Amino acid sequence: MDGIFDIKEFADRDVEGKVFDIKEFAVHDGEGVRTTVFLKGCPLSCTWCHNPEGQSPYPEIMEKAGCVKCGRCRAGCSHPECQPFGRCLHACPKGLLRVAGQKMSSHALAKKLCRDSVLYEMSGGGVTLSGGEPLMQGRFCVSLL
């Protein structure tokens, strides 16, 4: 958790954060057309959580429903992106595995979000930071916004 910090110190700094999803053209997370950025990490573990993939602050493998328990993903793998998980993300015959959580630069994400600024202005929309709990990555949020 970021704790207390001087906002001015991070306003112009490029900070790395962990994002598990970005939904463009969202209409349920505020007024107008928006982009919702889902951040990793939440200390609450609510039983009604709508985004369980946002609870852990670390990247993790998420399985979609429909696994037939074939075990192919548990076999050895040499893909670098699979090594941290001890499973092969590419072996699932149904394509049901994905990583929830990737590191992103606040400046790179801001640049991506600004591409839709005309749409936000026309619709009265904008950007929503969701989670997880965005304030667990306070420095990233301040730099991004």
Looking at residue 60, what is its pLDDT? 92
Q: What is the DSSP letter of 53?
A: G
Rounded CA gap, 91 and 70, in Å? Answer: 10
Parallel, antiparallel or unpaired: strands 34-39 and 16-26: antiparallel
| Selected residue with higher pLDDT from 49 and 75 | 49
Residue ranges in the chain assigned as alpha helix (H): 7-10, 106-114, 117-123, 138-144
Amino acid at 81: E
The pTM for the full model equals 0.84
Q: In sequence order, which residues have a C-beta less than 8 Å from that of residue 10 and are 6 or more positions away?
A: 139, 142, 143
SS3 content of the chain, % helix, strand, coil (to 5): 30, 25, 50
121-131 confidence digits (pLDDT tens): 999 999 999 99
Looking at residue 124, what is its pLDDT? 96
Looking at residue 64, what is its pLDDT? 87
